[in-house]
Amino acid sequence: MARAPAREGPETPLEMLNRNEGFFPFLPDNRKEVLLVSRAQTIALTVPSGGEIRAPGAREIGLEVSLVDGTVWTGVAEVNLPQPMSRPIDYLNAGGGPFFAVTTNKATHLVNRAHVLYARPTD
């Protein structure tokens, strides 16, 4: 993994997905060849629990996300925005890049905003 551009330590999967480049390298299980995957066509990338770095000072909001392929995840999102802008809609509309994270009890799902059908707060 590359180094994170804005902090110490390795780059997280979310930071990698939110780069400007159109493609990212991916090595599926049981494969020897690296695939070059289009970020724009990627609906989501799932990382097992514990694979993401938690942001200091962030608070959690409950969120249900429904994707265009019928997948629905209910979990929490870490919000690190100023207090007046810490609603679920603020999180979903925040710049940061095309991908955002929703964590369930089993994994963190890095979701492409362009493939979200709808989202709703669960708090």
Has residue 21 been placed in a domain?
no
- pLDDT of amino acid 6: 60
Give the chain's domain count: 1
Has residue 11 been placed in a domain?
no
- pLDDT of amino acid 93: 87
Q: How far is Cα 96 from Cα 99, in angstroms, rounded to an integer?
A: 8
pLDDT tens, 50-104? 655 566 667 888 999 999 999 999 999 888 777 777 788 888 887 778 999 999 9
pLDDT tens, 33-43? 999 999 999 99
What pTM was estimated for this model as a whole?
0.84
- pLDDT of amino acid 11: 84
Q: Could you tell me the residue range of the domain that residue 101 belongs to?
A: 59-121
Q: Do 98 and 115 form a contact (C-beta atoms < 8 A)?
A: no
Has residue 95 been placed in a domain?
yes
List Cβ neighbours of 55 (8 Å cut-off, separation of 6 or more): 78, 80
pLDDT band at 3 (very low <50, low <70, confident <90, very high): low
75: left (phi over 0), alpha (psi -120 to 50) or beta: beta
- pLDDT of amino acid 5: 58
pLDDT band at 121 (very low <50, low <70, confident <90, very high): very high
pLDDT band at 113 (very low <50, low <70, confident <90, very high): very high
Provide the CATH number for the domain around residue 103. 2.30.30
Tokens standing for 110? Answer: 């890095």
**For residue 8, is pLDDT > 80?**
no
- Give the angle 30-67-12 at the CA atoms, nearest 5°: 55
